[in-house]
Amino acid sequence: ASMAKLYATEVAQEVIDQAVQIWGGMGVVVGSTVERLYREIRALRIYEGTSEIQKLIIAGEALSAAEVEKAAE
């Protein structure tokens, strides 16, 4: 789940960053669709753990899986 959240929110942020660049000043006008999406996507990256926390969770799960595999040998 952490991998999916991290990937989806990071890609969404890249897309909306590009949209803001394409729209220029109009992309940050309060009330515009691009501005609203920028705010919403930023919130998604923070909700239920920042991207950095998701990376820590993924790393912890990978290490746990490696320990289980090593113990099974």
Both tokens of 64, joined, read 């746990």
Catalytic one of 10, 14, 40, 48: 48
**Rounded-to-integer distance, Cα 1 and Cα 31, Å:** 32
48 is catalytic: yes
Asked if 41 and 14 count as a contact pair (C-beta separation under 8 A), the reply is no
**Rounded-to-integer distance, Cα 15 and Cα 4, Å:** 16
> Which residues are known to be catalytic?
48
